[in-house]
Amino acid sequence: MNASGTEATTSVSHFILLGFPSSPEMQLVYFGLFSVTFTLTLTGNAAIACAVRWDRRLHTPMYIFLGNFSLLEICYVTTTVPKMLANFLSSSKSISFVNCFAQFYFFFSFGCDEGFYLCIMAFDRYLAICRPLHYPRIMNKQMYTGLIILGWSSGFILFITPVILISCLPFCGPNIIDHFMCDPVPLMMLSCSEDTITQLVYSTLNIIFMIGTFLFVLCSYALVILSVLRMPSAAASKRKAFSTCASHLTVVLLFFGSVMVMYVSPGSRHPVKKQKIITLFYSVITPLCNPLIYSLRNKEMKTALRKIFRIERGAHKT
């Protein structure tokens, strides 16, 4: 019995990612479309990270967090999109067992880190607007350095358990995943045995993380908005505060809205096409929109980005 169980567990050495089944011509169209999207995402987020690094006026906690968030977005999209692009040009569309779970681990770890960073940015705005006199003392270099480390490491710690549990499930065939990435829900459905404990741990972890971080962000910005409304200051400063909060809240709603629909209740069995569209939205479209949202609504960021592009143009001319 032990021998057969071990054999069944190790019988699947790779998975097939179906992606978006269509004609070869349509696959090339998809490849071109997502290649452009991927390039724009990398360029936009890298530009924000460089602007924060090179412009001394942006060396404040708010922009430092934003720069790290942009770097996180780059890491986030590179875990899945390159493989998806390769599969558009491939006939096999296979991914090894180890690479599949590595993709699963890094994608969801970076995704969790994004959620934590949105909480950190909301906390920073709360302190800056609601506790302005205490802000320099609280948000000192040690504090924001610690928050940066926490934001980058939390997801990797949090997702060790579900990745280990799901990878230890017996996979004895079939090995076809009707998705463009190694998503945990289709993976659990491919397992030879239904492990309710693993499903419960995974679902509980998702619910606690998503609802907890989402409520934290909403409560922080609710307090910020109330504080801004009570300000006796000029309309210009109120507009600036609202503009900053609006940018952050837009990103929060785009990210958490799509992710919660998909993962808070994985047992709801969303149709396959709906799963792919929702996953595509938060894994490809949202990282593309974030640089636009932050740069278009922020004068300091727009000025810094203009400087960067001027420097790049000058370098190309010389």
**CA 303 to chain centroid:** 26
- pLDDT given at position 152: 96
* Residue 203 Rama label (left phi>0; alpha psi -120 to 50; beta): alpha
Structural domain boundaries of the chain? 2-317
Across the 318 residues of the chain, what is the mean pLDDT of every consecutive 10-residue run?
Answer: 42 88 92 96 92 88 93 95 94 92 95 93 91 92 95 93 92 88 89 85 87 91 85 65 76 82 58 81 88 74 75 54
Tokens 């609601």: give the residue.
Answer: 130
Superfamily of structural domain 2-317: Rhodopsin 7-helix transmembrane proteins (1.20.1070.10)
Tokens 């057969």: give the residue.
Answer: 4
Dump the DSSP string for 146-211. HHHHHHHHHHHHHTHHHHHHHHTS---S--EESSSS--HHHHHHHSSS--HHHHHHHHHHHHHHHH
The pTM for the full model equals 0.86
Give the C-alpha distances (Å, rounded to integers) separating 200 from 15, 103, 106, 159. Answer: 24, 22, 21, 14
